[in-house]
Structure 1
């Protein structure tokens, strides 16, 4: 009883010691986990909300606020279309930001890049693992007997060894820090690309909206032309009934009506195509029918001068593609530093706490229980010597990637400046064309009214009326095209300047 009592007392004290070690390790794990960044705070809270840079709190800090909540669902949102509602451009953009798959794809990519930052941060902390090793062994040993025979002695051993191990890379000459910097730059690039996806979506919806608007306007012009053609036909038939007209004039008037009907069919077909383009840009199903507000009276922006160097520099500091290419360059440079640090030594810390509970039995003797504990701390240094030039080729690869990223960044900047200048020229030309087309329409209207009145009074010919009607139709379509082209050019310039961040009108985005 005394021996058994001693064993029981030792087991209790060992269990208390083990539980205390486990508690200390778990508490340490909780404290170390608090040092890590929350990936949900490194990107936008939802796919329909553009990203805003984080503040100084957190390891991925730029400037500005960010939403605290995170959308947990990955299912596509259900968009409810209100029957009878006339959707404006801003409301269509809101629908697109909530329903178009491109924003969700870019959002998920930004979340993946944010999670990579957390992975890189985790390499600075120790790895703690719990291990259990259990085993059983039965050894049979032949022994000669005094009478010339052979006897066999069986020795049985069993045991369980639970342990907790710690591995910690203490120093690596900046390799992990370089990889963390690269992950942060990649996450920043993913976030600004996510914002760029929103800007591109707004731009595409705006373009489709204006194209649909001009298609609907041309359909109305075709209907107006058909009414004019019927008026001319009625006048020709009236003159023929009065004996002052000819059958040739009536035939020509009927031909004009047929031509107007053909133009109307073409205009309506173009309107259907433009509608599908608009719903596709918004991200709605092809069979969805919505009512869209007219863009006919949309105010045009004022004439702009050539963009100054200051305006271009500000635009380059806002454009997501330029920011993303610059972040990609910084990430490549960080990867190059990490590849260089791989040639240097690394200092490791290891620790283990283990317990052994087992028993040994030999032959017919009573089994002997074994209980012991072991703990240790080790500090080591590893120096890479030869690896088949794997690290050397990785370093070459990283250097090449840096040069490629630098060239791509330069190309992106130059292309952005060229796009801004071209968009500015297009806007200036479109506004000038609209002024000329408006003057042409006013003159064509006066000519048509005079020609039609003269024909009704017997002072003009049907040929003059037909030519005036055709000129008026062309002038109205030219004015509609120039108005839409001005709106499209304004939206393109706002997009190239990096100002297409909301559903505002193009003239507001250009301020």
Structure 2
């Protein structure tokens, strides 16, 4: 097709073909436009019908469009591989909190993204620095031109003469912006502040990962304790069932009591299944926080033996100020506000002239040829430099709009910084109150668990001796389960609240800090 198109774009004059560049350009542009429109065939034909790859449209058309329900499945891609456990994770080893944090900092994709973001910000600052240096380019310009001139008198039956001019000109050019009234300096300052913000946020991401692993580790530990408590509750219910069966065998019980005991056993078994499901969910949350594939099976050390922190008082202004001075989100928002101020300076410099220096060194070779005449060659070279200044006088308000936009961005950044300060201070106060409430709940739940254990033991002993009531025994069993679960949840909540307070204070900065929050 292209060959026929090229042939049609030439015309013959006195037996000689001459190019028609304009017509060729128009025709090629039209052909490319047609190709672009044809690409719509790769998109879905209708908003209510599924997309199918062109290679499978023929075989999929019948099932997708012939009266059956549309199938919106997509073709499988064999390049998508199955998830694999990391080679440096030992599936037979029991991992504690410190080891899980170490895994998370190495495997969590969030750290990789934050690292690349910080590198990009640093490179952006370096690219601004490069604008202080001159730009040197090497250029080669070559071309060929045909010119048809009419002859005043036909010669040998020819009434036109074709002249061909061709040439090549290599050049080395230098461009250097010498002075711009501080625009590049302002842009450089903004880039450095943005780089600082990215670096701060990189450390903040690691702090967040440390906290997330710590929180999910404690939540998983609480879920495991719930499983243990539910198993113990099942064993207690089975003791009551055994006592009820023994009373029936002795003739002092009845089938109603036996049915109630069996119901209690079934309820306890159901509760244990629920607790095991919750433990699996907590396990997956822990793997996700550590960046471990969900199909990985590892052993987790229990959290028993960790001492709870002492009671904390009300937060002071000194504590809050010290925390705000090291919070990554606060410092990053401050760096962003400083960068926006530099953006205003750069926009203001657009109203000032720019002084530039330019230089060029060029060599050239030109050949002139006319039909029936020998070829003529010319060689030429040139070099020189110039210095000048430029200043736009009218741009339709573009620079003024850019300045207002920079001022608006700075206002938003400043407001965001103040909002971040307020939010951070509020989070610290709330975290302190949460920890105090969790510690108080744990103390109350511990007392309740102790009392419930005494009640259960007494109720079971009385019922087994034939003087008690099964309703009292099962109620005591249920009360003991509730009290022990409340105690376990309050214990884990206190650990999580202590970790959350450390994170809000900007102190969750290492494995040692996470492990040492509540003691070993």
Q: If the TM-score is normalised by the length of the shorter chain, which range does it land in?
A: 0.7 to 0.9
Query: What is the match of residue 14 of structure 2?
Result: none
Query: What is the match of residue 422 of structure 1?
Result: 430
Q: 1:490 to 1:351 in 2, by over 3 A?
A: same
**2-structure distance, mates of 1:151, 1:459:** 135
Q: 1:454 to 1:380 in 2, by over 3 A?
A: same
Query: What is the match of residue 32 of structure 1?
Result: none
Q: Map 1:54-93 onto structure 2 (within 5 A).
A: 79-80=86-87, 81-93=89-101
Out of 170, 178, 184, the residue aligned to residue 176 of structure 1 is 184
2:495/2:518 contact within 8 Å kept: no
With structure 2 as the length reference, what TM-score do the two structures score? 0.77
Offset of 1:330 from its aligned partner? 0.8
Query: What is the match of residue 331 of structure 1?
Result: 339
Out of 473, 477, 483, the residue aligned to residue 481 of structure 2 is 473
- Indicate whether 1:189 and 2:197 are aligned: yes
Query: What is the match of residue 442 of structure 2?
Result: 434
**2-structure distance, mates of 1:77, 1:97:** 18
Q: Map 1:9-408 onto structure 2 (within 5 A).
A: 79-80=86-87, 81-136=89-144, 157-359=165-367, 369-408=377-416
Q: 1:362 to 1:87 in 2, by over 3 A?
A: same
Query: What is the match of residue 24 of structure 1?
Result: none
Q: 1:156 to 1:275 in 2, by over 3 A?
A: closer
RCO higher in 1 or 2 (8 Å CA, sep ≥ 6)?
2
Q: Give the 3-state SS of the residue equivalent to 2:294 in structure 1.
A: coil
2:306/2:518 contact within 8 Å kept: no
Offset of 1:496 from its aligned partner? 0.8
Offset of 1:138 from its aligned partner? 6.0
Q: 1:356 to 1:255 in 2, by over 3 A?
A: closer
Q: Give the 3-state SS of the residue equivalent to 2:357 in structure 1.
A: strand
- Indicate whether 1:462 and 2:473 are aligned: no
Deviation digits for residues 268-297 of structure 1, max 9, x if unmatched?
A: 222222222222222333322222111233
**1-structure distance, mates of 2:487, 2:313:** 23
Offset of 1:129 from its aligned partner? 0.4
Offset of 1:410 from its aligned partner? 0.3
Offset of 1:449 from its aligned partner? 2.0
**1-structure distance, mates of 2:515, 2:335:** 31
Q: Give the 3-state SS of the residue equivalent to 2:488 in structure 1.
A: helix
Query: How many pairs are equivalent?
Result: 434
Deviation digits for residues 397-438 of structure 1, max 9, x if unmatched?
A: 011111111111000000000000100110011111111111
**2-structure distance, mates of 1:361, 1:487:** 91
User: What runs of 5+ residues in structure 1 fail to find an aligned partner?
Assistant: 1-75
With structure 1 as the length reference, what TM-score do the two structures score? 0.78
1:189/1:327 contact within 8 Å kept: yes
Deviation digits for residues 452-484 of structure 1, max 9, x if unmatched?
A: 233333443333322322221111111001001
Out of 498, 504, 519, the residue aligned to residue 496 of structure 1 is 504
2:307/2:518 contact within 8 Å kept: no
**2-structure distance, mates of 1:413, 1:77:** 42
Q: How much is the aligned-residue C-alpha RMSD, in angstroms?
A: 2.7
